[in-house]
Amino acid sequence: MFPRSRNWMSVCLVLSMSGCASRGNVDLLESELRQNESVRAELEHQISRLETDLRVARTDADALRSSLAKSGGRPPAAEDANALYRAVDLKFFTLMTGGWDRDAAPGDEGIMVALTPVDEHGDLVKLPGDVEIELFDMTRDGDDQRLGIWRLSAEEVRASWYKGLIGSGFVVRLPWQRRPGSEKLTLHARFKTADDRRFDATTQLTVTPPGAMLAENAAEPPPSKYRISAQPISMPRAKSNEPVTAPGSDEPGKTLPAPIDLTPGWGDDDLDPIVVDNSPDGESEEADSDSASEEDSAILESDSWTEESIPVLR
């Protein structure tokens, strides 16, 4: 009896120890998760604080450069700390500059402009600045040529940075201020950096004016309804006594025969009487047989000739 009780006690001890071990693992995992969450929250707080400090530093730096430029000195370029070369020109990225169509309706709703500051080697420099964009329709006269003017601050330009597979640059989408009447427009951009450097760029772009497709469809006349009418071809008829020669042939012509009158005659003399046989079938057959026998008897054979009926050769 004592050995059995000892076995049960050992089993109970093992089970209790395994339960304590599993509970201890769960507590350990929960402790690690709480620690990771606290570290993550601290890192997010640090990132937010650093972004705020960076924004303030950029604003102060831009203000210092502006004040130094106004005082007559030459401040350092804003991109010198992040790039090896200074921006020397402004260009349009033509693949991403043109009409802006944001819905399925005919015509564009505005323009999309992609600006790329470049260095002396033509490489892109990520340099934000104040931007002024003007759009012109040169087919109009005088002051009516300008369709709109848009001004963007350096912060707005910095937020518009785009980097993709086909290219990178500062990309902005601008709705119409005045609707164009022509597809060919002139686009001018003026770029001003924080150290008061200015770059200008001009390009031509093609757009689809709003309502152009509707106007084009309305200008088209309705399709005409074609009617095909067949009319007889009148050919000159040659007379029967005139020679006829085939076109393009040197052979002498032949005289046509006289035409045959195929017009039926409707006179009473020209019509054969129609005889209707109302006799029974048997009587008609007997009559036919009698007439046939009479015709056979009328034929003279050699053994029935007489002196008067013998043929004489002359």
pLDDT, position 183: 92
pLDDT per residue rounded down to tens, the chain (314 residues) = 455 555 666 666 656 655 555 666 778 888 888 889 989 999 998 998 898 888 888 877 777 777 777 777 666 666 555 554 578 899 999 999 999 988 878 889 999 999 999 988 888 988 889 999 999 999 998 888 999 999 999 999 999 999 988 889 999 999 999 999 899 999 999 999 887 889 999 999 999 988 754 445 555 555 555 555 555 555 555 555 556 555 555 666 565 566 666 555 555 455 455 444 555 554 555 555 555 455 445 555 556 666 666 666 65
Residue pair 115/90 in contact (Cβ under 8 Å)? The answer is yes
What stretch of H or E contains 294?
A: helix 281-297
C-alpha 191/C-alpha 52 separation (Å) is: 26
Query: Is residue 170 within 8 Å of residue 193, measured between CB atoms?
Result: no
Please name the residues in contact with 281: beta carbons below 8 A apart, sequence gap of 6 or more. none
- Which residues lie below 8 Å from residue 44, measured CB to CB, with a gap of 6+? none
- Per-residue pLDDT, 156: 94
* CA–CA dist 116, 163 (Å, integer): 11
The one-letter amino acid at 17: M
Residues 174 and 151: beta-carbon distance below 8 Å: no
**Per the structure block, which two tokens stand in for 142?**
């005088």
SS3 (DSSP) at 39: helix
Q: What is the pLDDT of residue 59?
A: 79
Tokens of 125: 């420099």
pLDDT given at position 117? 93
